Amino acid sequence: MHFKDKLAAIQKEKKSLLCIGLDPEIEKLPPAIGQRKDAIYVFCREIINATAAFAAAYKINFAFFERFGAEGWQTMEKIAGEIPAGCLSIADAKRGDIGNSAKHYAEAIFGRLGFDAVTANPYMGKDSAEPFLDWKDRAVFFLGLTSNPGAIDFQFFQQNGQPLYAAVAQHVEQWNSTHDNCGLVVGATKSEKLRQIRQIAPGLTFLIPGVGAQGGTVATVLQNIGDSNALISASRSIIYSGSNDDFAEAAAAEARRLQAAMQPFIAC
């Protein structure tokens, strides 16, 4: 099934656009789990089990696993296998390289690990994107306008009066015409730009991080987009909402709260 069809079905069933980011830091895990050899796996598994009823997707941040080398990769593979069929899986890997390298990255993420989508850097252009886009039933979320303060260093650079982030959105919208499997990462903290970017790229699914710990709100994001063709991502505000043995229950409560805030904006 095509990524967008999966997203639409999940949206209709769960009334949710919530993407939960799995960014586990061993130093922040509850004491009862943190001492275990398989601490990160158990923590993420319990978060998934507790929140799956409210989540449309899970986003696994590769950096938090790759720091542990081969063992971390194996843990990530196990966690990817825990994501239920009723949720989408996104590899937050931010890949971007020449075509031959990109082909192998795509095979690893889509073929070996079975993710539904990946985040990618569009800086090297269309030929670096095509090996990912050739997986027609998967989605690629290209970095558009990110939520970090350093976004201003390059993403607002202007040429002929157009900022770089707008040019990226325009190009990705064009790439999307082939297989309809492109998306765009737009930070929730840049909510004043969301309306502009949606006008440039009406066909793209937005992946929107920055809700919760970074200060973005569901209502502001969805009011500016003007539609529900999006996944709104929250990580720390959910997975670290509790620091004791009840961490999974606390995560479920925060996921439920965010999902409820999305329901009035979802057209089903």
Residues catalogued as catalytic:
94
| Six-digit token string for 107 | 């095979």
The DSSP letter of residue 155 is T
Q: Which residue has the tokens 């009862």?
A: 32
Amino acid at site 264: P
**198 and 219 in contact (C-beta within 8 Å)?**
no
With 0-12 CB in 10 A as exposed, 13-18 as middle and 19+ as buried, what is 250? middle
**24 and 58 in contact (C-beta within 8 Å)?**
no
Q: Which residue has the tokens 């997707």?
A: 57
CA distance to 131, 186, 192, 203, 264, per residue, from 198 (Å) = 25, 10, 11, 8, 20
Distance CA 184, CA 207 (A): 6
Closest CA to 231 of 89, 98, 132: 89
Residues in CB range of 226: below 8 A, 6 or more apart: 195, 198
Distance CA 46, CA 24 (A): 12
Overall residue count recorded for the chain in this entry:
268
